[in-house]
Amino acid sequence: ILRDAQDDMQEYHQNKNRKMKKLLIILALAVLLPWSAVAQDARMRTSETIIADALNQLPASEKKVFDEVMSELVSTGAEGIAQVAGMLVPASEGKNAIVEYALNGVVAYVTTPGKEAEKAIVRKGLIQALDACKDNPNKAFLLTLLRMCGEAEDAPVFVKYLNDEYLAEWAISGLTTIKGTEEVLLDLMKKEAAPKTALAHAAGLKKMTAAEPILLAWLKGADAPTTRAIYQSLAQCGTSLSIPVLGKAAKSVAYEWETSDATSAYLRLLQKLVGEGRGKE
């Protein structure tokens, strides 16, 4: 009986050791496997499968389905969003309709109230995609999407493209639209780090009074397009300091409506100051 008990005990320990070895092997494999292989949802789907399933359901026929699909796309993380954006191809190589729909949709989804965490994921994914994209029209599309959901901290992404002949328009649009970029724009103006016409346009749209001295200084020796942009900007962000400058410019063209836009800018500045309660000035 004692010998049988000893044999049973030995067999028990052997089985226990085998189970421990199996557990250790499983844990080791989990550590060694690439993240993409283990990044799965509750249904054991990889990011690639989630994205493929989501695209197959678009365009969505109901808002509930749309929200579910967008939520699944966000669940793939910034890498997943970048992966979707990476499916964009040059217009000469194919159609991007579904991919563009998905990206537009996910941006619209995360810009609704209460989805700040999801929006941060999408922003990060779009920035990754921009770095990887080689096609200018697709880069412009991605910049537009980032403009729609971007934060002030994303300003350097747009600054990078300010001197790009093709993408400058989308870059300045992003800096103009996103809230909190005034200091970035002012710094660019001080350094003259981008085309003056574009910077003047941005300063006016954002009503940057702090930019007025720079704009006035730029008028000296400015070409016609830059002069027109500065006049228009001063009409939106100028103070009483700009009254004599625009007044002189308007008088020099006999208060006519012409290409420099001096008369219009002068009148709009006066109207702005009256609206601010500074009619006496």
Tokens of 150: 């971007």
Predicted confidence pLDDT, tens digits, the chain (281 residues): 555 545 555 655 565 556 555 544 444 434 444 434 344 555 668 989 999 999 999 999 899 999 999 999 999 999 999 999 999 999 999 999 999 999 999 999 999 999 999 999 999 999 999 999 999 999 999 999 999 999 999 999 999 999 999 999 999 999 999 999 999 999 999 999 999 999 999 999 999 999 999 999 999 999 999 999 999 999 999 999 999 999 999 999 999 999 999 999 999 999 999 999 999 88
Query: What is the value of pTM for the model shown?
Result: 0.79
The pLDDT of residue 181 = 97
What whole-number distance in Å separates Cα of residue 228 and Cα of residue 222? 9
Q: How large is the angle between the packed helices 63-75 and 47-56, nearest 10 degrees?
A: 160
Asked if residues 223 and 260 have their Cβ atoms less than 8 Å apart, the reply is no
Residue 172 has a pLDDT of: 94
Pair of tokens at residue 277: 């309660």
pLDDT at residue 6, as a whole number: 55
Q: What spatial distance separates the first Cα and last Cα of the chain, rounded to whole Å?
A: 113
Q: Give the residue from 258, 252, 208 showing the smallest Cα distance to 233.
A: 208
pLDDT at 13: 52
In this prediction, residue 61 carries a pLDDT of 86
Q: At what angle do helices 243-252 and 262-275 cross, to 10 degrees?
A: 150
- What is the predicted pLDDT for the residue at 12? 52
> Looking at residue 4, what is its pLDDT?
55
